[in-house]
Structure 1
């Protein structure tokens, strides 16, 4: 159980990167709408009026795809070593939370391949395990970001284990 005076050994918040800002999204959608409307109007004036509707459908599908992408970007994962617990929290795009707790003294952290990944695009994922149980975290991170989190978390675990902390003995 976390006490208010427990030492914070590690605390990281992980979230997916989205390169297009909300303002950029509005600008992009306005440009796509203008182009689609212009092209659709040309076809409409030449007698191919159904094309106008399909151009509008394209704009709608692009809008929906971006909104779904932004919604999945609301995923947040936190990894903390506070006192004598390593806690991983995952909050999905619906706001539903999952939580895992480990004793940091027994935790192993590393980059591992997932068995479900197809051979040509196999990537190493950050894996936290203890006593035969484990989980992959930060799957939305780039390979370089995973390596950084792995290095920082492994360093924090090393400091914890070598600190003389009562739970680490």
Structure 2
């Protein structure tokens, strides 16, 4: 097996933990039940139905977000190739393979403040985005680390 110059796992950031999710849904549920009681007393019998639909929509959105948080983008750099794979708990798919010697890292920056807006691997007119889940600062650090790993892999042959 050849040397591994980079094996990075990029996971999307989520600011709400499961405990926070339960607390948030509890607060929203209590607020909806209280509102529903007021509207029922006023004779607006369809409003509680819409409040229930609202609660279900919020739960579904958060569950979809938690599912997406389990997805991983993996970037590997060896002396012979650069490989990018997308991995979920159920499957793994290679989205980019290129020879290390000819792979370039294209960094798109904001002209005004220099933030890294996009990061792409490029080879012979083909490109693929990398590290889109990272913040601009993290993306800049990752770009430097990726360029360094590719440079070391080219020299380490």
* TM-score, L = length of structure 2: 0.86
| Equivalent residues in 2 for 1:125-144, closer than 5 Å | 125-144=118-137
| Equivalent of residue 147 in structure 1, options 140, 143, 150 | 140
Match of 2:69 among 66, 73, 82: 73
Q: Can you give the 5+ residue segments of structure 2 that lack an aligned partner in the other structure?
A: 110-115
Aligned to 1:19: 15
Instruction: Give the whole-Å Cα distance in 1 for the aligned partners of 2:69 and 2:48.
Output: 32
Question: Counterparts of 1:50-61 in structure 2 under 5 Å?
Answer: 50-61=46-57
Equivalent pair of 1:73/1:93 in contact (CA under 8 Å):
no
Task: Pick from 31, 45, 48 the counterpart of residue 49 of structure 1.
Answer: 45
The alpha-carbon deviation at position 87 of structure 1 amounts to: 1.1
CA RMSD, 1 decimal: 2.1
- Rounded to whole Å, the distance in 1 between the matches of 2:94 and 2:4 is 21
Q: CA deviation at 1:155?
A: 0.9
1:2-13 to 2 correspondence within 5 Å?
3=1, 6-13=2-9
CA distance in 2, matches of 1:94, 1:8: 25
Aligned length: 152
Structure 1 spans left out of the alignment, 5+ residues: 114-122
TM-score when scaled to structure 1? 0.80
How far does residue 132 in structure 1 lie from its aligned partner after superposition?
A: 2.3
The answer to which of 90-99 and 141-150 deviates more is: 90-99
8 Å contact from structure 1 (residues 72, 93) kept in 2: no
- CA drift of 1:134 comes to 2.0
Supply the distance in 2 between the matched residues of 1:32 and 1:95 (Cα, whole angstroms): 35
SS at structure 1 position matched to 2:96 = strand
